[in-house]
Structure 1
Amino acid sequence: MLGWAITFLVVALIAAVLGFGGIAGASAGIAQILFVIFILLFVGSLIMRFVKR
């Protein structure tokens, strides 16, 4: 999940440098959503790990 977020971030940065604003904005939005989902799943797994012990 984090790998996909980083990939979309790189695509957004490259698109922004080349002047493709629409693609850059869409890729950045997808990267943000994936990163938030990754963080939520990571925190949830940490909580579950500590609860099981």
Structure 2
Amino acid sequence: MHRIESYFPRSRRVINGIIFVIRHGLRWRDAPKDHSPHKTISTRFIPACTGNAWQRF
């Protein structure tokens, strides 16, 4: 978890939302509201993908 925190400053809820969406194969819009708004989750996921954070995680 510490490896990807630099891509998501102060956003544990966003990280949990991204993992939830990926794990369950959902669309960003279907993310539970208690994680964060779906637009926030998706826009923070894209830069992390370009930085290969998920492969290292």
* TM-score bracket for this pair, using the shorter chain length: 0.3 to 0.5
Give me the TM-score of the superposition, normalised by structure 2: 0.35
Q: Which has the larger radius of gyration?
A: 1
Larger helix share, 1 or 2 = 1
Give me the TM-score of the superposition, normalised by structure 1: 0.37
